[in-house]
Amino acid sequence: MPEMVPITWFIILLLCATVIISSRKLKTRNPGRFQAFLEFCVVSLEGFVRNIVGPQESRTLTPVIGTLFIYILVLNLFGLVPGFTSPTASTGTTVALALFAFLFVQYVAISRLGFINYFKHYLGEPIWLAPVMFPIHVIGELARPLSLAVRLFGNIFGEDLVIVVLMLIGQSVLGRFYYFIPLQFPMMLFAIFTSFVQALVFSMLVGIYIAVAIAGHEEH
């Protein structure tokens, strides 16, 4: 949806401004609560990525996968702000994220393996089965961004739709008392949890795809 583009750019600018402002007054001793929270997030994301791709690759992949997780999480939660819709409830946003993830996985695989070894992965073993294995591997690789986009869109769109339906039911049934008994409030609490889970699953799958793609390189 074109109307989601300004919202996504606003979230990007908001995250950039938050990082720039918070990094101006970093303290090595007695850090404030916000700095301590940011450091906790960085350490947690680094450990999360390390457990998937290993300690060596986590040094370069944590900034990308961690940023992807935070960005998707904020996109998901933005729909809970009154008057706004989650950008990830639009297929345009989820497809763009999935395509970025797909291209990033291919870039990492080629940079680690080299193009020849990367191409051999699609041929499979034994080599005489290449005419069969090559299209299977290509189809499987192309199915990954499709599953990433559909999974994220379906879950976020579904929870946003349920919240809207509960709001309409509350307004029609409770009337003026709707503002005192918000029926959608339990669903909004659950949406916070699912927003975190969906961002975690998306970033985790990207890390798993990378780990699988460079498995031959690690063994060598």
Greater confidence, 55 or 203?
203
**Is 98 contained in some domain?**
yes
**Is 75 contained in some domain?**
yes
**Is 42 contained in some domain?**
yes
User: Which pLDDT band, with edges at 50, 70 and 90, does 165 fall under?
Assistant: confident
Domain limits for position 187: 4-21+32-219
Residue 177 has pLDDT above 70, yes or no: no
**Is 59 contained in some domain?**
yes
Number of domains in the chain: 1
**Is 26 contained in some domain?**
no
**Is 114 contained in some domain?**
yes
**Is 67 contained in some domain?**
yes
User: Which pLDDT band, with edges at 50, 70 and 90, does 98 fall under?
Assistant: very high
**Is 66 contained in some domain?**
yes
User: Which pLDDT band, with edges at 50, 70 and 90, does 102 fall under?
Assistant: very high
User: Which pLDDT band, with edges at 50, 70 and 90, does 24 fall under?
Assistant: confident
Do 145 and 209 meet the contact criterion of CB atoms below 8 Å apart? no
Q: What is the pLDDT of residue 161?
A: 87
Greater confidence, 218 or 127?
127
Segment 178-209, tens digit of pLDDT = 666 677 788 888 889 999 999 999 999 999 99
Give the C-alpha separation, 150 to 63, whole Å.
25
Nearest to 179 by CA among 192, 191, 168, 170: 170
